[in-house]
Structure 1
Amino acid sequence: MKKLDIPTLEIFVAAVEEKSLSKAAERENLVTSAVSKRMTELERHLGKAVLLRHGRGVDPTPAGILLYQRAKSLLRHVKLTEKAINEFTSDGVAKIRLLANPSTVLQFLPIEMKSFLAKSKNISIDLVESHSYDIPRLVADDQADLGIYHADYPASGILSYPYKKDRVGLVVPNGHPLSNATELFLEDALEYDLLGYFPRHSLGQFLDYVGKSISRPPIVKLQVSNFETRCRMIQEGLGLGIVPQNIAKNYLSQMGLVFINLRDTWAERQFYLCVNNDSKDTDAVQKLIKHLI
């Protein structure tokens, strides 16, 4: 071995952390003899003993401890470099992984993406829909560079910026007993069937979300996630539905529906933009953050 190389350092780090050449071999998908040979070549190259071999396994020597610390740092930088390179497409264009909840995708992102991509020719965006309660965790786990979610407060353990607000309201068919109301509390509509898939998605999470603002759970016989389909179901008299105002207005006239403002405090939603800690300083991600906020 003429010089240090990444695979050898990975094997050395595994040996130190596993305290065993055989376990290091298993971890690195090698045979033990190959690991032993690489460690011998490493020590010959350095001219120093870096592993103390004994009946129980191996331990690093003082020189080995220093090498382990430097190797860990180097391997982390290599990993971050690989991650940074992977954020480009095969054509060398910067790629941003963006998660957003359905309300954001429909209400805000079409215009935002059009204006951003028009001035950012060398950036591509991989946009994936996800649920608000999953997005901060997925971003923190490096499943995405950026995420947009709605919540009462910023998620813990990740950097979030205030993004936008919206309001949800109650959509009812024309001619419904409530259709002449301009605003009401959800409590006032509980005698009627309500289509499921609420803010927070499941009925249980929705009830936790609204707290004591309603006296009893709504009557739910049908769950509908897609906003357009939900409005079609409302049109057919299958129940009332909670829909974001900016989305509902696309269907009101064509489907003969009425939007009623909800006076409940939870009907106004705050959206947040969160960013992956390892991605936040890349140029492409910084440009999108500045554009969105």
Structure 2
Amino acid sequence: MRFDLTDLQLFVHILDSGTLTAAAGLSHMTLASASERVRGMEAQLGAPLLERGARGVRPTAAGHTLGQHARQVLQQMEHLRGDLADFGNGLAGQARVRGNTSAVAEHLPQAVAGFLQAQPRVALELQECRSEAVLDGLRQGLCDIGIASDAVDTSGIQAEPWRPDPLVAVLPVEHPLARRMSLRLAELLTQDWIGLPRGSALQALVQRHATQLGQPLRWRVQLQQFDSICQLVGQGAGVAVLPASAARRHAGRNGARAIALQDPWAQRQLLLCTRPGVQLPAHAQLLLEHLQQHSIR
């Protein structure tokens, strides 16, 4: 079998996107060329790699195996480029990091600033996604390093505590409970709520614990930015639960107050995650060591 790197990258794009059309676009080739390459790979293998359906394609058992090996080969090529790039001009390489909303918005900008200054020829690809998607990206080789909440399943991942990320309640300063030093979620169940968009790991966490208490939350507004949430809370539109780091920055200047949550699940921890047994590219390893040095225990 003779699969070239273009074949392997195309096949990985197919698995990630679920359609030949999208994969062809990502691979900068026509749909006809992409289809021909897939047929060529299947002909060499002597077995189908994809099952075609109305909603796209999915890998056969052979396709799943090829996908695993293709990711490993492409990652090794990335390692090679990173290790050799210092001998040429331009960037030495790229480190790929995924983080949840709290990590990307509140913790990583400061944490990586010193690294980028010390390594001017290393580019950082930073992607924000749910903690589950952070770990899925690591397992699939889509990123080098992940920052995720300890509320998700880390099986198959090497994870170490990185920074505390407790959650707090955010209330209007005139709210009757705003003078309290701490609260429990149960005391806020009947309030109107403002939060992150549906699908956010943080919103799912709060909603799950509210449901366990017998009272699903009543969402009035769902916004993308912590600052916008605090603005609406300050204007009396509802209450929110946010990471303490975000609340400290945004609540006070928007007429809101952050109050500690007593619930054990609110004492979250951010985890620094990598894939076990995988050697990182040199520049990604440097970033990992930098982040480890900037952990807060």
* Structure-1-length-normalised TM-score: 0.68
In 2, the alpha carbon distance for the partners of 1:5 and 1:250 equals: 55
- Note the aligned Cα RMSD (angstroms): 3.4
2:77 corresponds in structure 1 to 82
2:105 corresponds in structure 1 to 106
Q: CA deviation at 1:228?
A: 0.8
- 1:137-216 alignment runs, 5 A limit: 137-152=136-151, 155-197=154-196, 200-203=201-204, 205-208=205-208, 212=212, 214-216=213-215
In 2, the alpha carbon distance for the partners of 1:258 and 1:75 equals: 51
Q: Which amino acid aligns with 2:79?
A: A
1:270 corresponds in structure 2 to 269
1:8-67: CA deviation from partner (whole Å, max 9, x where unpaired): xx9xxxxxxxxxxxxxx97453898xx7xxxxxxxxxxxxxxxxxxxxx89xxxxxxxxx
**After alignment, is 133-142 or 252-261 more displaced?**
252-261
Q: Number of residue pairs matched?
A: 234
Instruction: Please say if residues 97 and 127 of structure 1, whose CA atoms lie closer than 8 Å, have aligned partners that are also in contact.
Output: yes
In 2, the alpha carbon distance for the partners of 1:31 and 1:143 equals: 25
Larger radius of gyration: 1
Gaps of at least 5 residues in structure 2 are 8-35, 48-68, 293-297
In 2, the alpha carbon distance for the partners of 1:144 and 1:75 equals: 15
Identity of aligned residues (%): 23
Q: CA deviation at 1:113?
A: 1.0
- Distance verdict in 2 for CA 1:174–1:29, change over 3 Å: same
Instruction: Please say if residues 226 and 250 of structure 2, whose CA atoms lie closer than 8 Å, have aligned partners that are also in contact.
Output: no
Q: Which amino acid aligns with 1:284?
A: H
- Distance verdict in 2 for CA 1:279–1:83, change over 3 Å: farther
**After alignment, is 112-121 or 193-202 more displaced?**
193-202
Q: Which amino acid aligns with 1:239?
A: G
Q: Which amino acid aligns with 1:208?
A: R
- Distance verdict in 2 for CA 1:206–1:86, change over 3 Å: farther
1:85-129: CA deviation from partner (whole Å, max 9, x where unpaired): 465698342200111111112221122111112222332211111
In 1, the alpha carbon distance for the partners of 2:37 and 2:234 equals: 61
Gaps of at least 5 residues in structure 1 are 11-24, 36-56, 59-73
In 2, the alpha carbon distance for the partners of 1:98 and 1:141 equals: 13
In 2, the alpha carbon distance for the partners of 1:223 and 1:185 equals: 22
In 1, the alpha carbon distance for the partners of 2:41 and 2:141 equals: 28
Q: Which amino acid aligns with 1:118?
A: Q
3-state SS in 2 of match to 1:247: helix
In 2, the alpha carbon distance for the partners of 1:75 and 1:215 equals: 47
1:284 corresponds in structure 2 to 283
* Structure-2-length-normalised TM-score: 0.67
In 2, the alpha carbon distance for the partners of 1:259 and 1:219 equals: 20
In 2, the alpha carbon distance for the partners of 1:188 and 1:164 equals: 28
- Whether 1:29 and 2:28 are equivalent positions in the alignment is no
- Distance verdict in 2 for CA 1:102–1:26, change over 3 Å: closer
Instruction: Please say if residues 100 and 128 of structure 2, whose CA atoms lie closer than 8 Å, have aligned partners that are also in contact.
Output: yes
In 2, the alpha carbon distance for the partners of 1:272 and 1:151 equals: 6
